[in-house]
Structure 1
Amino acid sequence: MAPLLCVRTLNHRPGEQNATEYSVSLTRADMIEFTMGALNAL
C-alpha cells in the first residue's frame, strides 16, 4: 500500500560530515511510521 502522506527531511549541521534523515509516513489513519537514519555525506 502506498503512503497517503510521506514527509522526508535531511538535517545537516555545518562542520559535520554526516547528515541525518527523518522520514514520517502515514499509510492509514491509525498507522504512523517514523524512521531516522544517518547518511554519510559524500
Structure 2
Amino acid sequence: MSIEEIRERAYDLWDRNHRPDGYELEFWLMGERELRAEQRAKLDH
C-alpha cells in the first residue's frame, strides 16, 4: 500500500461524504484502515 493509494482512497471517502472541512486526518486514517483490511482479506483467501 503506497502513500498515493491512501491519498486516493482518502480523497474518494472525503468526496463521497460531501467534502466536509477539517476532516483530512480522519479520512486519511479511514482510507488507510480500509486498504489494510482489503490487503488482509486478500491474504486470508
Higher relative contact order (CA 8 A, sep 6+): 2
Structure whose residues are more often strand by fraction: 1
Q: Output the TM-score relative to the length of structure 2.
A: 0.29
Structure whose residues are more often helix by fraction: 2
Q: Output the TM-score relative to the length of structure 1.
A: 0.30
